[in-house]
Amino acid sequence: MNVEPSSNALINELWLTLIVTIISSIITWSFLLMVQRVVLPWYENLTYKGIRLEGSWQSTTSSHKKVTHHEFMDIKQRGHILTGYYFVKNELKKSKPILSNYSLEGRIVNNHISLSCFIKSQKQIGIVQFLLEIDEGGEALTGKALWINRAEKDIMVTDDYNLQRVK
């Protein structure tokens, strides 16, 4: 006695196979995403043997003797990857201060750090790039800053930029 499966049974089996395949793909994708976003950064941070720059940093600089820049960075570190926030208060001689808030991302390479800061407000333009050397046993960062001068619509360079760790 040879019984052939009905077309309904075949369709049900195909749907079941499709659903199981989709669910297993979602589980596999979720597992890989967790490994990529949680396990690997945790392991990299655990095995990282370089300097720790995590914490608060500050600087006060002047440009053209017209503007004083009070700057503050809050850096988070996972291995050689840096993230955080960068705040600037620009005090102009003849007008009220301008406050700017940036997100920060960068990395440590040898004894240097490279940071990119992107303005968070959609009502302002701004980007700042830093290339800094780690000095004073990790208590200072010195180097160059490249930034957009909104008032003069020009790209500016600060050649002797210096950040100090906040104790």
Three-class SS state of 65 = coil
Predicted local confidence at residue 1, as pLDDT: 53
pLDDT digits (tens, 9 = 90+) for 51-99: 999 999 999 887 766 788 899 999 999 989 999 999 999 888 888 888 9
What residues contact residue 128 under an 8 Å CB cut-off, 6+ apart? 86, 102, 115, 116, 117, 145, 146, 147, 148
**Pick from 24-28, 31-35, 94-98, 162-166: least confident:** 94-98
Q: 163: Cβ–Cβ under 8 A, 6 or more apart, which residues?
A: 57, 58, 59, 71, 73, 132, 140, 141, 142
Band (127; pLDDT cuts 50, 70, 90): very high
Query: What pLDDT was estimated at residue 77?
Result: 93
CB 58, CB 72: distance < 8 Å: yes
**What's the pLDDT at 2?**
59
Q: Are 86 and 104 in contact (CB under 8 A)?
A: yes
Question: CA-based Rg of the chain, rounded to a whole angstrom?
Answer: 26
Segment 12-37 mean pLDDT:
95
CA separation for the pair 76, 85 (Å, rounded) = 9
Q: In the numeric block, which tokens belong to residue 25?
A: 């793909």
Mean predicted confidence (pLDDT) in 10-22: 92
Strand partners, 40: none
At residue 77, what are phi and psi to the nearest 5 degrees?
Answer: -135, 135
Output the six-digit token pair for 11. 């369709």
Query: What's the start-to-end Cα distance of the chain, in Å?
Result: 87
Q: CA–CA separation, 108 vs 137, rounded Å?
A: 15
Residue 67: what pLDDT? 80
Residue 64: the pLDDT is 67
Task: Give the least confident one: 10-14, 122-126, 149-153, 155-159.
Answer: 149-153
Residues 79, 48: contact at Cβ < 8 Å? yes
Q: Which residues pair with 102 in a beta bridge?
A: 86, 119
Say whether pTM exceeds 0.85.
no
With bands split at pLDDT 50, 70 and 90, how would you rate the model's confidence at 8? confident
